[in-house]
Structure 1
Amino acid sequence: MKEHQVDFKALKAKVGIDDIAFSLGYQIDRKAGLGRYIELVLPDAVGGRRDTIIVSHIYDKAQQTFFRRNGQRGDVISFIQENAHSFGISGRNNWDIISKVMAKFANQPIEDKAKQTYAQIGSVNKPFDPKLYHTEPILQNLDAAQYIFRQRNIKKETIQAFAPWIHRVKDTRFDSDYFNIGFPYVQPGSDKVEGYEIRGYGSFKRKATGTNSTTAAWIVDLSNGHNPQDIKIVYFAESAYDIMAFYQANKARLQADLDKSVFVSIGGTFSNLQVGSIMDYYANARAVDCFDNDVPGRIYGMRMVGVVEKIPLNIVQTDDAIRVSHNGQKHKLDPQKATLNNLRTFLHFKREYGVEKAPSAFKDWNDVVMNKPSSVILTKSKYEREDNLREKRMGGLKM
């Protein structure tokens, strides 16, 4: 994007200080309260605080400002300027860097010489062509990749554990120097890449053109010999970020069985052939539901059982329930609490299954490691309480 094309006002409506802060490793301090303000803390290596900012207007990115207790304050542009060298982006000057950072986080389309957009290219129904993508191992430039993972609070140690199954990816059809993160899709037992789950700055995500999401997935086999008969557990999640976050949040608890475990991202959409072929390949393994902690995620877990057990289930969501039909019998389940375990009351499981949903306040495991609860506790922050007290005092002086 050329500098004269940048509309900072429009970009500020899409890119918040919180977006930038999360990408730099800041975390919400829930002890300070959640209300009109949130307090974001940048931790250091020993558990202390490198920086603390208080962000206002958390639901209106265009109006967001931040301040520190020393009196410093500013908007998203000044916050990016403070951290201009922390994004792995080069430019002719600071304003050039700021414009590139904001454009990246806002997911502004980057045009190639033919003025094609990702949406136009992605709409062409063609098989995946690896020649369209320049790839390199993520460890070849881990520092640059960390800028993308950092916004999701995925730690360096986690990236390194999954590194053999992660690439840096650049679409050669676009005149851009930017690399995104690519999670290669393969079929179980195969090394042939059949597409990518792609993530970038901000909320940028998509699949590589022609990605096989029907029978392939992101499959991470952490076993030593990669013998499918030795695998005891297969963890399923809806995205690569989610399954990496699950690993990160539970590593100590999972440690004993890591060398017999496989971690899978289905890429957001559930395919019977995708899940079924994976569990057929890992025939001795227990399938574990790490899908999102919402109604669609609960249904995914139940569908997983039906697919693996090869039992036809009709599962639908209604206004007040998850309704499961099997052999002419209909069952009504609580949409807020039901899991695959509820199926045990009317189904016999031949294989073992587990449920590892994110804690109840969180939608998914990535939100857990980011400390971003989906249900905001509407307690006033200390800054909001001070504002209210100040308003009352000022009101008391009125005649």
Structure 2
Amino acid sequence: MNEEQKFEDYRNRLNIRDVLTDAGYTLHKRDGLRYPAYVRLDNDGRRIRGDKFIVMPNKNCCFQPPTIKLYSVTSFIWEHPNLFPEYNQGMKESALVHKVCQRLLNIPVEQRNQNVLAPTRDAKPFNIKDYKIERFHPDEADSQKPFYAFFKSRGIDFATRCAFHRNFFLASKAADNGASYKNLSFPMYIPGHPEKCVGLEERGYPRKDGSARKGMAAGTNASEGLWMASPKDMELKDAKDVYVFESAYDAMAFYQLRMKKDSGLDYKARQELKSAVFISTGGNPSYGQIQGVVKAAPGATFHLGFDNDLAGKQFVFNFESIVQKMNPLHPESVASDMKGFIETFKEGITSTKELLDIDDDRYVELPEGLQKLYLAYDTARNEAWEYHYSPFLCKEDKQEAADRMNKAYQEFKQALFQKLHVQDGQDLNPIGIVRELPSEGYKDFNDELLEKKQYSMTDVVETAFDENGVSLTEEREEENEETKKSGLKR
């Protein structure tokens, strides 16, 4: 029986629900039994928002909304290796599928470790203190050398490394079998909570063909955590521009391409790019990641640099859909009895002040309770106007009528805003989204960077010093040293 036949046998004998349970997911009964939903719980037993899989009816597969990408028993294990205790860094995906499926089917495995590991859901949560950290310092040559192979294989030059040096490091950790692994690591944080690292986006040591293992450190909170970096150390809450990518390599490649002399950006545009925040989702962007970053940067324009393929286009669609629904006045967000009222604003609503512009057409679309409050305000307003122009009433009577009108107005406004879950003065403008695409013919920005000359002499001269006066000519020396070692001539 060949490998594909074995995989088919696993799919026929195992239920996707059992695999989800083994991976640490729990049946969420409130979502209904027709389309069973499996969710992950945090350390306090609360549901992790956005980390959910739906089991397809009459099919032995599942998908993670909002992306309709079906996973079978074997493909789920293949693409989510960190969820299973058998996984070790560097292990082939096919070997992992065999080990997990054979365990679930109670098939004896030769030389199998008898110390069965606890399920992933009971595993120790991610802790950055479990790792030995080596950092890159722009002004210390010895600290830079261990990073050379990782970045050279991806075309990331010295100037770009210096720009992002605060947001990557080498992380070493001993595996259970005694072996030690070292990865280029990009720390992930939950937006708005920079005090705690919740995981690592990892890249292994590059192979001869330039490829490398990629994934997440065990225990990483990939549902909410993001890699976030800014060359000028701009905080996310203050950012005017946020660039979102599927990997940290793509983010750094995009920055390097835009900072080149021939990119077309002037000095002001380059400074703005340095002040932007760059984000990596580490793969498929989840609901929790998108919602978290948008809430944390309410005034920013989001530049989506997802891959230029079908999956990347789906991620853009998902991002836009989630952002639209986050608007409290989106048709799917408002109460059913308020949808008719919202739909009367044909041009959209950009401020709470517009909500108070009530005419006859909008009045009839209000629910009964709000109609009564508005009618009381309208009556008080007409009375106040009559009193104001009456020559027979004293100043005190006119003021009392004005006070009654203002009180009725505030009661209606408060009830309306409460019903729509908005606050007075809240900005309701749609969030700005810009699609950033690599040049034609390239899948992503790192592919584009690799295709072009990686270390041109023009770039070395142009970026000889950074804005802080740090010398960047080490790149030329570094490259020449590598050339000498390899015996190649330029």
Normalised to the residue count of structure 1, the TM-score between the two structures is: 0.52
1:192 paired residue number: 196
**Residue 302 of structure 1 pairs with residue 317 of structure 2:** yes
Map Cα deviations across residues 299-357 of structure 1 (whole Å, 9 max, x no partner): 11121122223269xxxxxxxxxxxxx97xxxxxxxxxxxxxxxxxx999712111111
1:130 paired residue number: 128
Partner Cα distance (1:162, 1:122) in 2: 37
Summarize the Cα distance change of 1:227–1:237 in structure 2 as closer, same or farther, 3 Å threshold.
closer
8 Å contact kept, 2:174–2:181: no
1:57-206 alignment, distance < 5 Å: 124-125=120-121, 126=123, 127-139=125-137, 141-173=143-175, 175-176=178-179, 179-189=182-192, 190-200=194-204, 201=206, 202-206=211-215
8 Å contact kept, 1:154–1:248: yes
| Structure 1 residue 286, shift from structure 2 partner | 0.3
Summarize the Cα distance change of 1:311–1:194 in structure 2 as closer, same or farther, 3 Å threshold.
closer
8 Å contact kept, 2:186–2:202: yes
| Structure 1 residue 240, shift from structure 2 partner | 0.8
1:226-265 alignment, distance < 5 Å: 226-252=234-260, 253=265, 254-265=269-280
The alignment of Structure 1 onto Structure 2 pairs a total of residues equal to 232
8 Å contact kept, 1:293–1:360: no
Summarize the Cα distance change of 1:149–1:163 in structure 2 as closer, same or farther, 3 Å threshold.
same
Partner Cα distance (2:448, 2:282) in 1: 19
* Stretches of structure 2 lacking an aligned partner (at least 5 in a row): 1-89, 96-110, 333-347, 351-428, 453-490
2:447 paired residue number: 367
Partner Cα distance (1:204, 1:179) in 2: 11
Partner Cα distance (1:123, 1:292) in 2: 34
Helix, strand or coil: the match of 2:195?
Answer: coil
| Structure 1 residue 281, shift from structure 2 partner | 0.8
**Residue 356 of structure 1 pairs with residue 436 of structure 2:** yes
Helix, strand or coil: the match of 1:255?
Answer: helix
Helix, strand or coil: the match of 1:186?
Answer: strand
1:212 paired residue number: 221
Map Cα deviations across residues 189-246 of structure 1 (whole Å, 9 max, x no partner): 313111101102232112100101111110113345x444431100000011111111
Helix, strand or coil: the match of 1:361?
Answer: coil
Helix, strand or coil: the match of 1:157?
Answer: helix
Partner Cα distance (1:354, 1:363) in 2: 18
Partner Cα distance (1:166, 1:116) in 2: 36
Letter in 1 for 2:170: R
2:304 paired residue number: 289
Summarize the Cα distance change of 1:132–1:116 in structure 2 as closer, same or farther, 3 Å threshold.
farther
Letter in 1 for 2:166: P
Partner Cα distance (1:279, 1:116) in 2: 46
Summarize the Cα distance change of 1:143–1:305 in structure 2 as closer, same or farther, 3 Å threshold.
same
Helix, strand or coil: the match of 2:244?
Answer: strand
Letter in 2 for 1:196: L
| Structure 1 residue 156, shift from structure 2 partner | 1.4
1:23-34 alignment, distance < 5 Å: none
**Residue 279 of structure 1 pairs with residue 294 of structure 2:** yes
Map Cα deviations across residues 99-144 of structure 1 (whole Å, 9 max, x no partner): xxxxx9x99x9xxxxx999xx9897333213243222213373211
Partner Cα distance (1:307, 1:234) in 2: 16
Summarize the Cα distance change of 1:222–1:307 in structure 2 as closer, same or farther, 3 Å threshold.
farther
8 Å contact kept, 2:301–2:432: yes
Partner Cα distance (1:259, 1:282) in 2: 17
1:393 paired residue number: none
Letter in 1 for 2:447: D
User: Which protein, 1 or 2, shows the higher relative CO under an 8 Å CA cutoff with sep ≥ 6?
Assistant: 1
Letter in 2 for 1:205: K
Partner Cα distance (2:118, 2:299) in 1: 37
8 Å contact kept, 1:132–1:172: no
Give the stretch that moved more between structures: 245-254 or 359-368. Answer: 245-254
Map Cα deviations across residues 7-40 of structure 1 (whole Å, 9 max, x no partner): xxxxxxxxxxxxxxxxxxxxxxxxxxxxxxxxxx
Letter in 2 for 1:164: R
Cα RMSD (Å): 3.5
8 Å contact kept, 1:228–1:283: no
**Residue 267 of structure 1 pairs with residue 282 of structure 2:** yes
Q: Percent identity?
A: 28
Summarize the Cα distance change of 1:209–1:227 in structure 2 as closer, same or farther, 3 Å threshold.
closer
* Stretches of structure 1 lacking an aligned partner (at least 5 in a row): 1-103, 110-114, 313-325, 328-345, 373-399
Summarize the Cα distance change of 1:350–1:362 in structure 2 as closer, same or farther, 3 Å threshold.
same
